[in-house]
Amino acid sequence: MADAHHLSNSKIATYRDFWPYYLREHGKPATRAIHFFGTGLAVASLAALATTGIGWFGLSALVGGYAPAWIGHFFIEKNRPATFTYPFWSLISDFRMAGLWSVGRLQPELERAGVPLR
């Protein structure tokens, strides 16, 4: 689905406009699944860092959070990760998407964003 952002190449100005764009960029269930896996790795690594104080867990959080997501974008979704252009909003949205999925409330958000059922 083409959106105004892609057609005009303009930057998205508000998070309210970014969220549906973000969801469309994660339209394939496999892309979302690999994101959830990466988000889980990042959270577990941050918990391990907080518990043990071992600095390597910080690096593990970064690699575990971003590597699966980028693999999903490049090889499954075949698009450019939004994090390259919108790093802060993308980080927030990764956790928002995972949180909504974990409580069973992601599907209505996907529908509102125009993500087709697959």
Q: Locate the domains of the chain by residue range.
A: 18-112
Q: Please tell me the least confidently modeled range out of 9-18, 38-47, 99-108.
A: 9-18
- The yes-or-no verdict on residue 23 having pLDDT over 50 is yes
pLDDT tens string 73-98: 999 999 999 999 999 999 999 999 99
CA angle 39, 73, 16 (to 5 degrees): 70
Contacts of 110 (CB under 8 A, 6+ apart): 23, 27
